[in-house]
């Protein structure tokens, strides 16, 4: 297999264009609602599967840099979620069983749930207190015309952009210098 420079250039433009269009279509009101939940939460938990889960792990790191108490569901040291906490979840389809079960568990514990999904009619959206609809194709909707990229790539890319926008907005609100956030950066690398 040999890929030429023109193909790489064209696909770089494709990916950037799709991310830009999709991120621009995310509701600012929905993101602001999640921001309010993050500000008010005693602790923040994140749960996602696959690449969406990896994006939420990156978001968890940034929120920790801000000084929030953040836990990743499934880690050995993650405590029980409880009332006053927030569960941040993501699933393009909104039907990923482990993610939906985590949200249902959080709801039973009276924690709040903020969900990112491409499917506003999903079981995940139904249990959430705040939903951010990412208008990207779901990973099994091949040939939908929403994206030329493979599987759920566009959802995951837009999820990253949305969580970075949340971090940036929260950081702007606290007006803490980057040097102070850096003190929380991992030093056991």
Spatial strand order of the sheet with 130-133 comes to: 70-72, 44-48, 86-90, 112-117, 130-133
Catalytic residue among 39, 156, 164, 189: 156
| CA 19/CA 32 separation, integer angstroms | 20
Q: Is 156 a catalytic residue?
A: yes
> The tokens of 10 are what?
């064209």
Chain centre to alpha carbon of residue 162: 7
| CA 118/CA 79 separation, integer angstroms | 29
Would you name the residues annotated as active-site residues? 156
């Amino acid at each position: 297999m040999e890929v030429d420079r023109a193909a790489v250039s064209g696909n770089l433009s494709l990916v950037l264009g799709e991310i830009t269009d999709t991120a621009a279509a995310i509701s600012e009101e929905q993101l602001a609602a999640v921001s309010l939940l993050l500000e008010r939460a005693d602790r923040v938990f994140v749960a996602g599967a696959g690449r969406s889960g990896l994006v939420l792990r990156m978001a968890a790191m940034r929120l920790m840099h801000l000084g929030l108490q953040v836990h990743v569901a499934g880690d050995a040291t993650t405590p029980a979620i409880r009332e006053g906490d927030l569960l941040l979840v993501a699933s393009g389809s909104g039907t990923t069983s482990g993610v939906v079960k985590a949200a249902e568990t959080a709801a039973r514990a009276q924690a709040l749930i903020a969900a990112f999904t491409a499917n506003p009619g999903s079981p995940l959206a139904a249990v959430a207190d705040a939903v951010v609809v990412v208008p990207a194709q779901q990973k099994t909707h091949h040939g939908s015309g929403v994206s030329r990229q493979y599987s759920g790539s566009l959802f995951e890319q837009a999820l990253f952009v949305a969580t970075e926008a949340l971090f940036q907005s929260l950081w702007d609100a606290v007006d803490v210098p980057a040097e102070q956030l850096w003190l929380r950066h991992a030093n056991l690398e």
